[in-house]
Chain A
């Protein structure tokens, strides 16, 4: 018999008690907004990118213990990662980093992965826009 029965691993509880990187980033390079109130989890993930590397990440989450802990974990894991590396972070990796999640809570790790992907996509969209604007400028310069 286990000494202490609890819903979550110690790691989940540790992140739940002391969530890392709570808040918003002013002028973020990418924002991910996922979830809906009906299923009870809403995550917002903000990233700051410099030279294709995620230098800062913050979150705001409405949700259960697992949702808060995975939000906290995803911000820790992406910091210092390149954009390509960040896109490879899976929900399983998040759950493993938290020493596992109860089966009915795996959807929280899926949501955190989606929040990250959505923030990165937002960044890529914005930077592509900036890039194509720059190209256009270059092009118009040429024709002159």
Chain B
């Protein structure tokens, strides 16, 4: 069966050129970059080259790039690292109610350790108000963490404005840019961030590797202890093949970033328009224009997300949902609830995230299949009856 993958916010396929670049570092060039001999130095050279490429993608100096095991580690590192290094200065952290669990759960952990966390609300589009950030800052505030764009609803946050506020208050500013780097232009100086998390597998690189950008002078404790790697900030033998793959993926992403963003934006808008036209009682979640080029998130009234996903999957369409039924908790997505959706609407959400392989044909397929799926499920929904 033909399959259409529309879940690029979850992960992306590793590009063949990336795999090709990685392969020698499993076999012939297997050295440990910490070794003095030629095998070691060969591997060392490869990771430094990759570091330059990732640095170039976000406009940062190479020495401010620290490789991690992924986006989750980068978020953990940023938050715990700053919190534990700056305890003497203060114990207050500001974040938002729509962050990825890697940030929210880390904040919850820090709260149990005596830190105080402010979770800022968002408006109906998922936007954080920079003024709310300003008002939340106290003399105890040591860190602000606001995601660059929502992995669920795609809304792009006013990071530059918040960066200015953080800068004026001399508070460290972190952004989780896992969904934006490689998809829209990202520059650490324009954004005014001190820390920025990214992940390779969201931009057609391999899984198991990420980066925490750390601006020079930012005071944070190391995440791992036990070696001199990454300037003693992250011990452990470097994952050379993955790091090389990340470098290659960064290089390729930079090459046609604006062209691909433009192409995806037009496919995105075609899908949104088509869905709103062909299905009644359907709502777009997130901001209509200030959103990621590849993100479409809708709530379909009276039906539940997982049952829509399963039906779509039976027809080869692979998407995602914020319904609790797809997770081990029974609560629907905290992001959709923060936007003010009712639990029913949050359970009825569907997310399509587009990518390189998608074409107009895939969009047309969704527009043909989804209305059928919704009609079938609505025919067995007790909610529709009570609505009428």
Chain A interface (Cβ < 8 Å from any Cβ of B)? 7, 13, 16-17, 19, 22-24, 33, 37-44, 59-68, 104, 107
Q: How far is the CA of A58 from the CA of B343 in the complex (A)?
A: 26
Chain B interface (Cβ < 8 Å from any Cβ of A)? 302-307, 310, 314, 323-328, 330-332, 342-344, 347, 379-383, 385
A63 B307 Cβ-Cβ under 8 A: yes
B382 A17 Cβ-Cβ under 8 A: no
8 A–B pairs (Cβ distance < 8 Å), ordered by A: A19-B380, A40-B323, A43-B382, A63-B307, A63-B325, A64-B307, A104-B328, A107-B330
A62 B382 Cβ-Cβ under 8 A: yes
Which residues of chain A have C-beta atoms less than 8 A from B332's C-beta? 38, 40
A40 B383 Cβ-Cβ under 8 A: no
A40 B380 Cβ-Cβ under 8 A: no
Known: A40-B304, A40-B323, A40-B343. A62 touches B383 (CB 8 A): yes
B382 A67 Cβ-Cβ under 8 A: no
Report A123 CB to chain B, min CB distance, Å. Answer: 19
The closest CB in chain B to the CB of A72 belongs to B380
Which residues of chain B have C-beta atoms less than 8 A from A65's C-beta? 306-307, 310
B314 A17 Cβ-Cβ under 8 A: yes
B343 A68 Cβ-Cβ under 8 A: no
A37 B344 Cβ-Cβ under 8 A: yes
Q: How far is the CA of A46 from the CA of B343 in the complex (A)?
A: 25
Q: How far is the CA of A13 from the CA of B314 in the complex (A)?
A: 10
A40 B382 Cβ-Cβ under 8 A: no
B342 A37 Cβ-Cβ under 8 A: yes
Q: How far is the CA of A60 from the CA of B380 in the complex (A)?
A: 5
Q: How far is the CA of A40 from the CA of B342 in the complex (A)?
A: 11
The closest CB in chain A to the CB of B381 belongs to A62
Report A24 CB to chain B, min CB distance, Å. Answer: 8
The closest CB in chain B to the CB of A59 belongs to B380
The 9 closest A-B pairs by CB, nearest first: A64-B325, A64-B306, A60-B382, A39-B330, A40-B347, A37-B344, A44-B382, A38-B343, A22-B380
Which residues of chain B have C-beta atoms less than 8 A from A60's C-beta? 380-382, 385
Report A95 CB to chain B, min CB distance, Å. Answer: 16
Q: How far is the CA of A33 from the CA of B386 in the complex (A)?
A: 12
B302 A22 Cβ-Cβ under 8 A: no
Which residues of chain B have C-beta atoms less than 8 A from A66's C-beta? 325
Which residues of chain A have C-beta atoms less than 8 A from B327's C-beta? 104
The closest CB in chain A to the CB of B385 belongs to A60
B325 A62 Cβ-Cβ under 8 A: no
Which residues of chain B have C-beta atoms less than 8 A from A23's C-beta? 380
Additional A-B contact list (7), CB under 8 Å, known A38-B331, A62-B303, A64-B307:
A19-B380, A40-B304, A40-B323, A40-B343, A42-B382, A60-B381, A64-B310
Report B250 CB to chain A, min CB distance, Å. Answer: 32
Q: In the complex, which of the residues A23, A39, A41 has the most CB atoms of chain B within 10 Å of its own CB atom?
A: A39
A61 B380 Cβ-Cβ under 8 A: yes
B380 A42 Cβ-Cβ under 8 A: no
Q: How far is the CA of A44 from the CA of B302 in the complex (A)?
A: 14
Q: How far is the CA of A43 from the CA of B148 in the complex (A)?
A: 40
A63 B324 Cβ-Cβ under 8 A: no
Q: How far is the CA of A63 from the CA of B327 in the complex (A)?
A: 13
B379 A62 Cβ-Cβ under 8 A: no
B324 A40 Cβ-Cβ under 8 A: yes
A64 B381 Cβ-Cβ under 8 A: no
Q: How far is the CA of A41 from the CA of B342 in the complex (A)?
A: 14
Which residues of chain A have C-beta atoms less than 8 A from B383's C-beta? 37, 42, 62
The closest CB in chain A to the CB of B306 belongs to A64
Q: How far is the CA of A16 from the CA of B325 in the complex (A)?
A: 15
Known: A37-B344, A40-B330. A67 touches B325 (CB 8 A): yes
From the candidates A17, A33, A37, A44, name the one contacting B343 in the complex (CB within 8 A): A37
Report B63 CB to chain A, min CB distance, Å. Answer: 43
Report B386 CB to chain A, min CB distance, Å. Answer: 9
Which residues of chain A have C-beta atoms less than 8 A from B307's C-beta? 16, 63-65, 67-68
Report A73 CB to chain B, min CB distance, Å. Answer: 14
From the candidates B326, B328, B347, B380, name the one contacting A37 in the complex (CB within 8 A): B347
Which residues of chain A have C-beta atoms less than 8 A from B381's C-beta? 60-62
Which residues of chain A have C-beta atoms less than 8 A from B380's C-beta? 19, 22-23, 59-61, 68
Which residues of chain A have C-beta atoms less than 8 A from B331's C-beta? 38-39
A61 B306 Cβ-Cβ under 8 A: no
From the candidates A16, A61, A107, name the one contacting B382 in the complex (CB within 8 A): A61
Report A70 CB to chain B, min CB distance, Å. Answer: 12
